[in-house]
Structure 1
């Protein structure tokens, strides 16, 4: 069997790898030789099904949780991809931040910590932090390392070519082109802009991912073993690629309010990416017609959902039958066959 995967981001590559492992003759079409245009290049790599559920509908949670459970084995098989299972510490700085956070912590069934207890876990937190909650099952990976590992496994099967018309590709096609899926399929996938900063300092300032709110500004801080800390991310209904003073200000102010020690870190990178969003902010995974399968629109959850998306799409390609988990994510929910 021969299958073409259109899209060389983390979703397309994960699907290509899964098909290859099942003996499929797969070709991945990636328009960028550098391959840094996708949302994965900007993503922090938080594997946080609980934290992300606040932005989604309840039927997405089982898919998020199922993929999160796949990640330990998935990361081990890929090699060194920055996998870390230290957990996520959510924190709130002000009374208003805490009132909002409590609703999400209750949804996740997390135990609320005092500010002092939160600082016991992370001494670098500001003494102004009022409260926190610890999610022990949340993890992180480095998406750039994940994509590099997937590319190595698909060596010789990635073609750097822009696909503008699916009629030019013979046989079965999986479209996993992120925001570009809209032009190829007509599906309602829009770009959601996100600005992200990367800082660098001495390793060890933070031991856990910090997911916090400071005076109404939401920020996450994702520490890497080498001293890098990813600070993100804005969420803007825009398609431009401008780094804005307001976006950088909001991220840095919230980050420094929560962790004052970051003031001495060097800013090493600032980037913009576009999450592929859908009208209900849940992914589109399923058959568009007898020939074309779509796996796109993962919005904030592309890295987290890569393993389960790859497994479910491969099953659909090989058997022609969709797993019950995919019922809620069919293209048909937007009036597409």
Structure 2
């Protein structure tokens, strides 16, 4: 029986494990469960297949496919685990609130409206209604109908429970990978709780993936990006859509009467604590967009470490025989997880179509 080891129990590692065939394979998922740092639990949960893109690229097409898969994924997880991941489809408003971002938002609207004629620009009256403090000379926005959202924390929990229910999957949580070596026949993974010999090794450890690969003398261009996030509770009922500002601040309505406010981006920052200046920036930008949220109660603040590559393109595929990588998804890990889980599993199982679909994202070690 094949012994498959997946390092990383975030949405990528778990999605790959669920999609892999159980025939003649036992899967071990290893995760150190680092407190306050796991990107999957900290994510806003946006399904921004259109929000994030300005041109027709392989990543854009992959994102669109994955977004379409999420309703079925949510339904399957609810059936398996009885966890409702709170899929919402109220759409997303992309907004620029300063003159410096007007040109970029107009460029994005021009591209997206050619692809999707339901996308529309907000009129001056609609802008004033939605963003009452907006200066109409330096403000522009458009509405994307199909970019929804889920509860990322519940989604990750559901994936974890789904994996745990499968007899061919064993979870090894709170387990730190100490060292990885390669022999002629397998990969040897020494951990804080014992050792594993893997016929197939998948590294899906988010921002830590590059560090793990260095143990095999493989260098990939990945960097950590720290993001500060906060969750507030408010009586305000005038917002259902996600609001995403071109400056990076977003407001995601959550149940019940809660709003997830994110997220700052600090490259090469591994800090495990919130930065108070960053939290104040989130407050300022949030209230500039929706001043009605000024009266609120802070539920909690937290942070996550997201993996990014220099060109913003995720790295997914085979590096060496029986060694696979999936990382660099930055803000799109939740969105991309259904399709990436499927394609990576198919790639591991030798599917040529999956190899073709992932060719654009193939790792290129330095």
TM-score by length of structure 1 reads 0.89
Q: 1:98 to 1:275 in 2, by over 3 A?
A: same
- Give the CA deviation at 1:59: 3.1
Contact 1:8 1:35 (8 Å CA) reproduced: no
Structure 1 spans left out of the alignment, 5+ residues? none
Alignment partner of 1:174 is 2:206: no
Structure 2 spans left out of the alignment, 5+ residues? 79-83, 114-118, 181-187, 190-196
User: What residue is the counterpart of 2:332 in the other structure?
Assistant: 301
For residues 29 and 36 of structure 2, the distance between their equivalents in structure 1, rounded to whole angstroms, comes to 15
User: What residue is the counterpart of 2:343 in the other structure?
Assistant: 312
- Give the CA deviation at 1:274: 1.4
Contact 2:128 2:134 (8 Å CA) reproduced: no
User: What residue is the counterpart of 1:219 in the other structure?
Assistant: 249
1:258-297 equivalences in 2 (<5 Å):
258-297=289-328
Alignment partner of 1:126 is 2:108: no
Query: Considering only CA atoms, is the larger Rg found in Structure 1 or Structure 2?
Result: 2
User: What residue is the counterpart of 1:149 in the other structure?
Assistant: 158
Contact 1:164 1:184 (8 Å CA) reproduced: no
For residues 142 and 51 of structure 1, the distance between their equivalents in structure 2, rounded to whole angstroms, comes to 18
The structure 2 residue matched to 1:85, chosen from 80, 83, 89, is 89
Alignment partner of 1:108 is 2:112: yes
Aligned pairs, how many?
A: 326
Q: 1:283 to 1:22 in 2, by over 3 A?
A: farther
For residues 21 and 35 of structure 1, the distance between their equivalents in structure 2, rounded to whole angstroms, comes to 31
Alignment partner of 1:238 is 2:268: yes
Q: 1:98 to 1:226 in 2, by over 3 A?
A: same
- Note the alpha carbon deviations across 1:33-88, whole angstroms, 9 max, x for none: x775311121101101111124x983321111111111111112112101011100
User: What residue is the counterpart of 1:3 in the other structure?
Assistant: 4
**Cα RMSD, aligned residues only:** 2.3
Contact 1:64 1:305 (8 Å CA) reproduced: yes
For residues 108 and 122 of structure 2, the distance between their equivalents in structure 1, rounded to whole angstroms, comes to 14
- Give the CA deviation at 1:22: 6.7
Q: 1:320 to 1:90 in 2, by over 3 A?
A: closer
Contact 2:8 2:206 (8 Å CA) reproduced: yes
Flag the structure with higher helix content: 1
For residues 89 and 135 of structure 2, the distance between their equivalents in structure 1, rounded to whole angstroms, comes to 24
